[in-house]
Structure 1
């Protein structure tokens, strides 16, 4: 097993390279974790990386899915206390008649939504699923984060000449996953991807694999760094870009100068937008 333990200095040096590889601002801090993993994979001489894209979207693997399907109280009662900041987006709506599209929008948004474009995308996507809430959530994911997620993974892997394969995206498997009734996807707020858990148990894999309720995702320390040891550096990067940025970028950059929580990507989005703008300026001057 190879362990990668980046530090804040790694992030500051990686940002320009990440932006060059992506060629568009991507405000998800997990991209740094993914970038560092690909760099290490290439360093040890491997040429192919296998990724796990797909099951979370098609088999209800995200905590936000549980929050919509079961409600915030049930998710927190299931021991998912780490997600209180995310659940709070729904808890303050207690007593409101919150339709599913609005709930998903609150949970998906980690920054501004100019002109409610994300809300409209989600509502239109979920409407196509009819009365199946799990399929509606999948279509909401596909309409919003899915394409940038796939493109980001491919571009970051390509930056190190790696071939990235996603076996869970085989067409037959995707179509089967989408058609499955919701009870095959999730029956407990902390246990999404039920059919994969059942398969792992049947194959004799240890309980730590199929019985875990600790859904961490591809966690990143970057949000904490941007409000801690890298706060001054991040402010300098954003402020420098703000002095020259076009009017359309200014609201995001200004919002990024404010501290953000674990589930708020505004600061990361602003930083990556500043890095992208700086790269475009350098290229234009070359």
Structure 2
């Protein structure tokens, strides 16, 4: 997977996506349709609801599984937590050298003209968007699969961005409202348009790295530490500490170690 990406991605869902493409290719299929876009443009992420409605409203809407994420918005009484800082806390799953992620988010949100939902979209586009698209394309290409993203048609993207917030989300657990309404109007079952269990593309990797594969992961990271340049050491060292469900530092460190080994092998060849 690391050779296919040629870039250290710390998102554990990349493993699930990679395995999905392997299964698709094994079935003899050559084209896959992906769903990139609506989460970013139509407020489909729980982190967006946390900013728009606040952690109390999100948890009260039955999203208890996101308590660890909501806890990132805790701050001292009387202290104002501006939107850019809130988004930065929710996006970060590891270190932010020199506050670069915060600066990207701050700049993106300032361009939204006061519309918080649009600001959240621009914040996503400024941070995770390009790596997300790149990763999906590369993982699919690893199995000679053509990946298509119909939600990224330009006219649809522009319409989605311009829509008022109420057409995107009006309840903490029900983002992508216009898509839900369309699905309901088309007669699709309630399980499709009424679902509130936004779980993302779940991956067992974090639990593996802190469980049965902990020793193996530590060995990979320590081996890389013995040879890696000084600039990589803080990230690798952070990966030797157990992480929680919403912490990607350990996964980032392991992927960075794999990337370092891959580059070393290529250089030697």
Q: TM-score range by the shorter chain?
A: over 0.9
CA distance in 2, matches of 1:93, 1:76: 20
Give the length in aligned residue pairs.
269
Pick one of 235, 241, 260 that aligns with 1:277: 260
Q: CA deviation at 1:91?
A: 2.5
Q: Which residue of structure 2 aligns with residue 133 of structure 1?
A: 116
Normalised to the residue count of structure 1, the TM-score between the two structures is: 0.93
| 2:144 is the counterpart of 1:150 | no
- Give deviations 1:154-210, integer Å, cap 9, x for gaps: 000000000000000000000000000000000000000000000000001000100
Structure 1 residues without counterparts, runs of 5 or longer = 1-17
Shift >6 Å, 4+ stretches: none
Q: Which residue of structure 1 aligns with residue 209 of structure 2?
A: 226
- Give deviations 1:22-42, integer Å, cap 9, x for gaps: 001000000000000000000
CA distance in 1, matches of 2:120, 2:6: 29
| 2:40 is the counterpart of 1:28 | no
Q: Show the 5 A alignment for 1:140-219.
A: 140-219=123-202
Normalised to the residue count of structure 2, the TM-score between the two structures is: 0.99
Pick one of 117, 121, 126 that aligns with 2:104: 121
- Give deviations 1:232-269, integer Å, cap 9, x for gaps: 01000000000000000000000000000010000000
CA distance in 1, matches of 2:45, 2:76: 20
Q: What SS class does the counterpart of residue 164 from structure 1 fall into? A: strand
Pick one of 31, 38, 54 that aligns with 1:71: 54
Q: Which residue of structure 1 aligns with residue 249 of structure 2?
A: 266
